[in-house]
A = this chain, B = another copy of it.
Amino acid sequence: MNWIYFFDLCGTAVFALSGALAAGKHRMDPFGVIVLAAVTAVGGGTIRDAIIGATPVFWITDPNYIAVILATVVACLIFIRKPYKLSNKSLPIADAFGLALFTVIGAEKALSLELSGMAAVVVGLITGVGGGIIRDVLCRQVPMVLRTEVYATASIVGGISYTISLQAGMGSMTALSLAMLSTLIIRLSAIHWHLSLPAFDLKTKK
Contacts and interface: CB of A to CB of B under 8 A. Distances in A.
Interface of A: 20-21, 23-36, 38, 46, 49-53, 55-57, 59-61, 63, 66-67, 77, 80-84, 110, 113, 115-116, 118-119, 122-123, 125, 129, 133, 137-143, 145-153, 156, 196-203, 205-206
Nearest to A199: B27
A29 B205 contact: no
Contact of A26 (B57, B118, B137, B147): B147
Contact of A29 (B28, B133, B153): B153
B60 A26 contact: no
Contact of A152 (B31, B139, B200): B31
Contact of A83 (B56, B133, B143, B202): B202
A50 B54 CA distance: 10
